[in-house]
Amino acid sequence: MAQSLGRKNVPAGSLIGASAPDRTGIVHLGLGNFHRAHGAVHTAQAMAAAGGDWGIRGFAHSSDRVVAPMRAQDNVYSILQLTEHGARAGVVDVHRDTGVAAQDPAAVVAAIADPAHRIVSLTVSEVGYTRDPATGRLALDRSDVAADFVAGSAPRTAVGMIARGLERRAHSGEPVAVLSCDNLQSNGDVTRAVVEEFLQAAGASDDVLSFVATSVSFPNGMVDRIVPKTTDEHAARVADLLGVTDRCPVPAEDFSMWVLEDDFAGGRPAWEQAGVTFSTEIEAYEMVKLRLLNGSHSLIAYLGILAGAPTIDAAWSQDFVREAVLGGIAGDYLPTFTPPTGFDADAYVSELDARWRNPLIGHATTQVGSDGSVKLLQRIPDAALFHLRRGTVPHRLALCTAAWIACVAPPAGFTPDPLSSRIAEPARERLAAAVDGAVTVPDHVRRILTGGFFPDALAEQDDFTARVADLLTLITRDGVRAAAADVAAA
Ligand code: CS2
């Protein structure tokens, strides 16, 4: 049996970028596959180019599924790059310490307060920002959020941990950047807003509020790399390629993109020498990514699930899916924003086509379809409102909404493909309660759209609700292809 991967056992020539020194300069929350294949890799490459004390102190949220194997192999792991032409493996060695936040929240707070740390980055997913879907503000009435306000309590939410860490850091006054690496529009501004809302609700002092206002930056950024879940086959492939066993490898596509606002109050790695773009047009980059890639991804996923397609490439290979998605990009998404300077929409879409087609990725439609109640908020309402306020109905955005409902809150009498049971949907019970007793599909849809799951502004748009109801009726009566055909004919 092959030897285990470890710092003393990195196969020659396989290191990606540089190993981090022992001193850590970054605290990271969320040790999932995305961070390990994205921010960590760009940081390793930046240190190879320009050095720096940018080792990462990483915390997983609540599970030791990644932390236990990482610790057992000196926090070193491999990336399995899956291209259309085959696979390559390389090793990342930038995490100098890892732990589980829920097991030791005080350690997270202390790490954020430690002046040696100059960046607090986070990949906590859309769900981790604990916002109210209807208002976009911190959900003050959620029990986990409210529990974190109690002075002296150990914070459980990401926002609570960051706020408590910054509160403590205000004593030293050392500047720091809090860097969201999640798929949220204006992710830095959103993070600042929820942290400040938390501090105000928790009765933080004026000194703390002024420290956060003046010495803590929250750069906006756009992140992009498709990173599926790890399977046993990925681990076996890594063992073949590297000759060592890795218990927590990360499969990823070749493509990686990171565009950042250059606003790091405590300094930063030389990421510009590691493939990262610094730009003043972040909002435009975010629109491109969140709408054309993520919004389309959701549509591919839900149409695919309803048609029994387990992976994104299997769904994307179906004509009705491609037609709906390409129609959505051209008609529903592209008109809604001004892209960054020099953006070439045709080239971007053909690159998306190649990425979604890649059969080696095996990206599960149910992974992309998970957390829809939170992800769709970034992908549908603003773009839909753009059209609805001009008197037109965005049919593919309505189709995505109808397909999501069909998967996670199906109307009575309709049973979606069994794949849909693998969608992790945090609002499933609340959705079921909202539609309990609905007798017609329009009533079912109205209860969801006006039930606090979407922003109030979208809930008021009767034309949208009506179109979602039509399409959900078609899905349940004649199947998902019939609904897509109706949209194509509209
Ligand atoms: C996907 C994203 O799961 C999802 O919702 O749309 O994780 C997507 O793969 C990444 O944002 C790509 O950068």
In 394-435, beta strands by DSSP E: none
> How far apart (Å, rounded) are the C-alpha atoms in residues 119 and 394?
40
346 phi and psi angles, rounded to 5 deg:
-65, -40
Note the pLDDT of residue 453. 97
Expressed in angstroms and rounded, the spacing between residue 277 Cα and the centre of ligand 1 is 19
Expressed in angstroms and rounded, the spacing between residue 20 Cα and the centre of ligand 1 is 28
225 lines ligand 1 (CB under 6 A): yes
Q: Are 176 and 216 in contact (CB under 8 A)?
A: yes
291 lines ligand 1 (CB under 6 A): no
- Closest residue (by CA) to atom 13 of ligand 1? 224
> How far apart (Å, rounded) are the C-alpha atoms in residues 144 and 132?
13
226 lines ligand 1 (CB under 6 A): yes
73 token code pair: 């192999």
Hey, which residues does 83 pair with through a beta bridge? 86
**How would you classify residue 417: left for phi > 0, otherwise alpha for psi between -120 and 50, otherwise beta?**
beta
Closest-CA residue to 12 (of 209, 223, 242): 242
368 lines ligand 1 (CB under 6 A): yes
Q: Which of the listed residues 187, 293, 333, 400 should we mutate to test ligand 1's pocket, taking the one with most ligand atoms within 8 A of CB?
A: 293
Q: Are 57 and 71 in contact (CB under 8 A)?
A: no
117 lines ligand 1 (CB under 6 A): no
- Closest residue (by CA) to atom 1 of ligand 1? 368
375 lines ligand 1 (CB under 6 A): yes
pLDDT tens, position by position, for the chain (490 residues)?
679 999 999 999 999 999 999 999 999 999 999 999 999 999 999 999 999 999 999 999 999 999 999 999 999 999 999 987 889 999 999 999 999 999 999 999 999 999 999 999 999 999 999 999 999 999 999 999 999 999 888 999 999 999 999 999 999 999 999 999 999 999 999 999 999 999 999 999 999 999 999 999 999 999 999 999 999 999 999 999 999 999 999 999 999 999 999 999 999 999 999 999 999 999 999 999 999 999 999 999 999 999 999 999 999 999 999 999 999 999 999 999 999 999 999 999 999 999 999 999 999 999 999 999 999 999 999 999 999 999 999 999 999 999 999 999 999 999 999 999 999 999 999 999 999 999 999 999 999 999 999 999 999 999 999 999 999 999 999 999 999 999 999 9
172 token code pair: 């030293």
As to burial, measured by CB atoms within 10 angstroms (0-12 exposed, 13-18 middle, 19+ buried), residue 47 is buried
92 lines ligand 1 (CB under 6 A): no
Expressed in angstroms and rounded, the spacing between residue 226 Cα and the centre of ligand 1 is 6
Q: Are 84 and 53 in contact (CB under 8 A)?
A: no
> How far apart (Å, rounded) are the C-alpha atoms in residues 89 and 79?
6
224 lines ligand 1 (CB under 6 A): yes
Q: Which of the listed residues 183, 371, 377 should we mutate to test ligand 1's pocket, taking the one with most ligand atoms within 8 A of CB?
A: 183
Q: Are 94 and 154 in contact (CB under 8 A)?
A: no
Composition of the chain by helix, strand, coil, percent to 5 = 50, 15, 35
Expressed in angstroms and rounded, the spacing between residue 294 Cα and the centre of ligand 1 is 6
pTM for this model (two decimals): 0.97
- Closest residue (by CA) to atom 6 of ligand 1? 294
Q: Which of the listed residues 126, 224, 254, 294 should we mutate to test ligand 1's pocket, taking the one with most ligand atoms within 8 A of CB?
A: 294
Q: Which of the listed residues 181, 229, 297, 380 should we mutate to test ligand 1's pocket, taking the one with most ligand atoms within 8 A of CB?
A: 297
Expressed in angstroms and rounded, the spacing between residue 371 Cα and the centre of ligand 1 is 11
Amino acid at 346: D
> How far apart (Å, rounded) are the C-alpha atoms in residues 88 and 238?
8
Q: Are 193 and 184 in contact (CB under 8 A)?
A: no
Strand 176-180 relative to strand 119-122: parallel, antiparallel, unpaired? parallel
What distances in angstroms separate CA 194 from CA 163, 180, 221, 282, one per listed residue?
A: 9, 12, 17, 20
Q: Apex CA 224: angle with CA 332 and CA 43, to 5°?
A: 160
446 lines ligand 1 (CB under 6 A): no
Q: Which of the listed residues 311, 351, 368 should we mutate to test ligand 1's pocket, taking the one with most ligand atoms within 8 A of CB?
A: 368
DSSP character for 172?
Answer: T
> How far apart (Å, rounded) are the C-alpha atoms in residues 388 and 86?
45
- Closest residue (by CA) to atom 5 of ligand 1? 368
**C-beta neighbour count of 121 within 10 angstroms:** 21
124 token code pair: 């906590």
200 token code pair: 């105000």
- Closest residue (by CA) to atom 9 of ligand 1? 226
Q: What is the CA radius of gyration of the chain?
A: 22
182 lines ligand 1 (CB under 6 A): no
- Closest residue (by CA) to atom 8 of ligand 1? 226
The atom number, within ligand 1, closest to the CA of 371 reads 5
